[in-house]
Amino acid sequence: MRLLFVALATVALQARDPFTMAGRSIAPGQRLDFDLAIPAGAADPATYIPVTVLHGAEPGPVLALTAGIHGYEYPPILALQRLLKGTNPGRLRGTLIAVRLAHVSAFESRTPFVNPFDRKNLNRVFPGRAEGTQSERIAHAISQEVIARCDRHVDLHADDGAEWLDAFGGIYGGKLAAAQYEASKEMGVAFGFRNVVTYAVDTRQQLDSGRSCNRQAVAMGKPTVLVEIGENGRADEAWVASLASGLENLLRVLKMMPQAPTPPRADLRWFSGTSGAASRHTGFFAPVSVSGRFVKKGDPIGSVTSYAGEALETITSPVDGYLLYGLTGPAVREGETVVTIALPAPAPLR
């Protein structure tokens, strides 16, 4: 009897705690789908954030995946659905917090870039405010309920309408994220995309001005990755499938699933930060090309004509680099960046 009692006590001590979130409790090996409620603000309505928690049967890291910060970016939203459908919490180590759709009002109204009520870019208002506008209230909830609760974070994006993009992983290093850099790098290469961009966060100003969801994770000391795949507001199956398998591989890399991970590809292109080229005029923009490519300083990137059809300027690259994403045209405003140029790095930033 005494032996049996000791054995039972040991089992009790080793039992894994439930994961609690926003007043819910998820037992080990279980899945829970629920909505994080966002109350109404002074000038705009209440909303909600659909969240799924898979609380693994075994201990491990808490990984947060956020999709739909921009509601018109469909491949990440669909890929996350697919990952959740195919992941058995009974086999999972650790805990997966999936923000299935961070920005419901933008999704439902098919509004690219901004919130339909306050016209703010949700990805520039972190950490948000509990009493702010709808974008700020959503950011506040994600900061407090999701990013603060995780050990690692990945924010999933695509390019919206009239934008082209070559898929990449963005990893965060620099003075304010040095301690998280190796973990961020491990995650950033797990997706199997050829392009990897390191963003150095060296100053408070870089961290604070127009803070993104990724930079909120940096501010909270969490390794974080930006993932971008898909363009022109489309939801092509190839992008959804690629991202879903990248997410599955991430779970393997983090040992949250038992299968052996696919190692990082041998032909990775490393970049350190980005530059950009802007239009000096409002009018019609016609890019030279709408796919990733290397350019030299001075190479033409596109041309701008007035609404009357007169040639206004040829935009050239200010640097040697790799055109990573940009506008497809034709609409462009004075001062707007038409292309983002990744700066080649000889080796990964340490």
Footprint on this chain of Zn ion (rule: CB under 5 A)? 70, 73, 157
Cβ proximity to Zn ion: between 38 and 213 the closer is: 213
Q: Measured from the CB of residue 189, what is the shortest distance to Zn ion in angstroms?
A: 21
Q: Measured from the CB of residue 174, what is the shortest distance to Zn ion in angstroms?
A: 21
Q: Measured from the CB of residue 19, what is the shortest distance to Zn ion in angstroms?
A: 28
Cβ proximity to Zn ion: between 21 and 138 the closer is: 138
- What secondary structure does DSSP assign to 259-271, as a single string? SPPPPPPTT-EEE
Partnered with residue 97 across adjacent β-strands are 53, 64
Pairing of strands 24-26, 30-38: unpaired
SS3 296: coil
Cβ proximity to Zn ion: between 120 and 157 the closer is: 157
- What secondary structure does DSSP assign to 9-59, as a single string? HHHHHHPPPPEEETTEEE-TTEEEEEEEEE---SSS--EEEEEEEEE-SEE
Q: Say if CB 335 and CB 341 are below 8 A apart.
A: no
Pair of tokens at residue 294: 């290397």
Cβ proximity to Zn ion: between 56 and 118 the closer is: 118
Cβ proximity to Zn ion: between 157 and 185 the closer is: 157
Cβ proximity to Zn ion: between 257 and 339 the closer is: 339
- What secondary structure does DSSP assign to 132-198, as a single string? S-HHHHHHHHIIIIIGGG-SEEEEEE---TTEEE--EEEEEESGGGGGGHHHHHHHHTTT--SEEEE
The contacts of residue 161 (CB under 8 Å, 6+ apart) are 72, 112, 232, 233
Q: Measured from the CB of residue 207, what is the shortest distance to Zn ion in angstroms?
A: 19
Query: How does 99-118 read in b/e, with b if 16+ C-beta sit within 10 Å?
Result: bbbbbbbbbeeebebbbbbb
Q: Measured from the CB of residue 286, what is the shortest distance to Zn ion in angstroms?
A: 24
Q: Measured from the CB of residue 228, what is the shortest distance to Zn ion in angstroms?
A: 7
Q: Measured from the CB of residue 116, what is the shortest distance to Zn ion in angstroms?
A: 16
Cβ proximity to Zn ion: between 160 and 186 the closer is: 160
SS3 229: coil
Instruction: Enumerate long-range contacts of 249-254, CB under 8 Å, 24 or more apart.
Output: 249/190, 249/191, 249/192, 250/63, 250/154, 250/187, 250/190, 250/191, 251/63, 251/87, 251/92, 251/96, 253/186, 253/187, 253/190, 254/60, 254/61, 254/63, 254/94, 254/152, 254/187
- What secondary structure does DSSP assign to 335-346, as a single string? T-EEEEEEEE-S
Cβ proximity to Zn ion: between 73 and 231 the closer is: 73
Cβ proximity to Zn ion: between 153 and 157 the closer is: 157
Q: Measured from the CB of residue 170, what is the shortest distance to Zn ion in angstroms?
A: 11
Q: Measured from the CB of residue 322, what is the shortest distance to Zn ion in angstroms?
A: 20
